[in-house]
Structure 1
Amino acid sequence: MSYYSAIPNTQQSYFEAVERAERRSLHSFFDQHVIEDDNQGYIAVDEGDYNALPWELASRVVHTIHGGLLDEY
């Protein structure tokens, strides 16, 4: 007997998360982080959504893209 479980394509989800973070960074003051997720592979989060990232998220950051907007004139 064999069992099948849906395993996320981690490579694809990583590149999708990086692409999403890059697009979001162009319109944000905050850094965009790609985080490793046990269920979804990789996800992109905006640091502004969390103020300072909680430790459980910060420890799983694998890539960061700096926000593209500057508030300095």
Structure 2
Amino acid sequence: MTYFTKCTLPSRNYFEALETAEQRALHSFFDQHVIEDDELGYRAVDEGDYNALPPHLAIRVVHTVHGGMLDEF
């Protein structure tokens, strides 16, 4: 699932996307990525929505938060 945040300042938009990624990572098996977007600034993307990220998204990753849930039980 992808979440979009709209903001006028790119740095604020980055921190909003990072916060979304960190919150989602706590309850996910998948990594959460902050992606640079030409139109929106930054957005949080769940790797589980794409399996492996397609190359056009992978090159735009600026930060990754690893999923916090373990599948070892």
TM-score (norm 2): 0.88
Write out the 4+ residue segments of structure 1 that deviate beyond 3 Å after TM superposition. Answer: none
Q: Secondary structure at the match of 2:43?
A: strand
Distance 1:8 1:43 in 2: 13
Check if 1:30 corresponds to 2:11: no
Gaps of 5+ in 1: 1-6
CA deviation vs aligned residue, 1:35-60 (integer Å, no higher than 9, x gap): 00000000000000001100000000
Paired-residue identity, %: 70
> Is residue 60 of structure 2 the alignment partner of residue 60 of structure 1?
yes
SS across alignment from 1:34: strand
Computing the radius of gyration from Cα coordinates, the structure with the larger value is 1
Q: CA deviation at 1:14?
A: 0.2
How far, CA to CA, are the matches of 1:9 and 1:54 in structure 2? 27
What root-mean-square deviation, in Å, do the aligned CA atoms of Structure 1 and Structure 2 show? 1.2
CA contact (8 A) 1:35 1:42 kept: yes
**Equivalent position amino acid for 1:55 in 2:** P
1:8 CA drift (Å): 3.6
| Structure with the bigger percentage of strand | 2
